[in-house]
């Protein structure tokens, strides 16, 4: 079995609430995942960063942070997908990476990475700086997909802020 297959199996176990089996699978693949995250091949790193989310591996957030700072857009995107997945019920993950997410949303040269950073911000707390950034991106971003994503997430966070 490959890491990709194990990650797919982990996602199924997590969806099915099979925590014991998921924990066993994590133990079995921990060294392989760590090794691939340090690989010179960006494809292996991207797979490892994506697998962190599929394994629901909250203990690997420091490894995810490295993925967010990777030179490869594929790795940054994979790390963002995992961060978004892990932060759905744990906004602290987004809140802890907020400055980096702001930077990726505002300055990353890859439009897909920028959109994924915006979508990840949706799961964090509705802070004024994030709401301001999203409003700006929703009005000023050159790429339509980024404008649309920023506008949608801006609406969600404004609603969250209003209910507090």
Please report, rounded to a whole number, the percentage of residues in the chain having pLDDT higher than 70: 100
pLDDT in tens, 65-118: 999 999 999 999 999 999 999 999 888 999 999 999 999 999 999 999 999 999
Domains of the chain with CATH codes: 1-86 (1.25.10), 94-164 (1.25.10)
pLDDT in tens, 109-125: 999 999 999 999 999 99
pLDDT in tens, 4-41: 999 999 999 999 999 999 999 999 999 999 999 999 99
- How many angstroms separate the CA atoms of 131 and 157, rounded? 7
Is residue 42 within 8 Å of 74, Cβ to Cβ? yes
- How many angstroms separate the CA atoms of 104 and 11, rounded? 26
Residue 88 burial (C-beta neighbours within 10 Å; 0-12, 13-18, 19+): exposed
Whether residue 164 is predicted with pLDDT greater than 80 in this model: the reply is: no
- Burial pattern 129-151, b for ≥16 Cβ within 10 A else e, equals ebbebbeebbeebeeeebbebbb
How many CB atoms neighbour CB 30 within 10 A? Answer: 14
pTM (two decimals): 0.93
Q: The tokens 């797979």 sit on which residue? A: 47
In this structure, what token pair is assigned to residue 52?
Answer: 């962190």
What's the mean per-residue pLDDT of the chain?
94
Give pLDDT, residue 163. Answer: 86
Residues 6+ apart with CB under 8 A from 118: 105, 134, 137, 146, 149, 150, 153
């Amino acid at each position: 079995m490959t890491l990709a297959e194990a990650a797919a199996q982990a996602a199924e176990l997590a969806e099915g609430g099979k925590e014991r089996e998921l924990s066993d699978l994590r133990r079995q693949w921990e060294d392989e995942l760590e090794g691939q995250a340090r690989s010179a091949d960006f494809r292996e790193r991207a797979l490892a960063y994506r697998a962190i989310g599929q394994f629901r591996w909250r203990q690997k957030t420091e490894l995810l942070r490295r993925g967010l700072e990777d030179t490869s857009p594929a790795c940054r995107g994979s790390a963002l997908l995992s961060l978004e997945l892990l932060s759905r019920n744990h906004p602290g993950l987004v809140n802890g990476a907020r400055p980096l997410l702001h930077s990726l949303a505002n300055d990353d040269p890859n439009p897909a990475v920028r959109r994924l950073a915006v979508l990840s911000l949706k799961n964090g707390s509705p802070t004024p700086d994030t709401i301001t950034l999203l409003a700006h991106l929703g009005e000023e971003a050159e790429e339509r997909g980024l404008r649309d994503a920023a506008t949608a997430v801006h609406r969600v966070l404004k609603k969250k802020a209003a209910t507090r």
